[in-house]
Amino acid sequence: MMQAQEMGNQRYRASYGRYLEDFTVGDIYEHRPGRTITEADNIQFSLLTMNFHPMHCDAHHASKSEFGRLLVSSGLTVAIVLGMSVNDVSGKAIANLGWKDIKLTGPVFAGDTLYAESEVLEVRESKSRPTQGIVTVHTRAFKQDGSPVLDFVRSALIAKRGFGTGD
């Protein structure tokens, strides 16, 4: 079998994440694909995290609430949206530095599909780590109908090109 190089073809390796130089203030990354949340996701997450609030695991109790059905645990919503943003925002991060202003802006139910986007708010070189920098983004999540469900601000320590672990 001929090597790709011998036939004039090129070889490509999938890239995961971005280096510090790839971020520009004001850019918006649309995180895809979306993620449909199931009843099993919600129950398993609630059990795993020991969150036994009846609004997440007791359908009869939840049927009497203003929502009329089980709510997806907000911790699960945050975790899924954060995960959706990793490839675009923190795939080359050395460390997450923190989250702030986490706002739950709408209910999420089993069967909802979440979509998210992150806007770059700040990019700066680290004062103490010359091969790294700090990126701050504002991430927003929406349901399939466009209604907002979550937003937060996150900062991560990101490698400069040529200094990442995958270089």
pTM: 0.89
No. of H helices and E strands in the chain? 4, 5
What is the tens place of the pLDDT at every residue in 85-119? 999 999 999 999 999 999 999 999 999 999 999 99
DSSP 74: H
Neighbours of 51 (CB within 10 A): 15
- Domains belonging to the chain, first-starting first, are 20-159 (3.10.129.10)
What is the tens place of the pLDDT at every residue in 110-153? 999 999 999 999 999 999 999 999 999 999 999 999 999 999 99
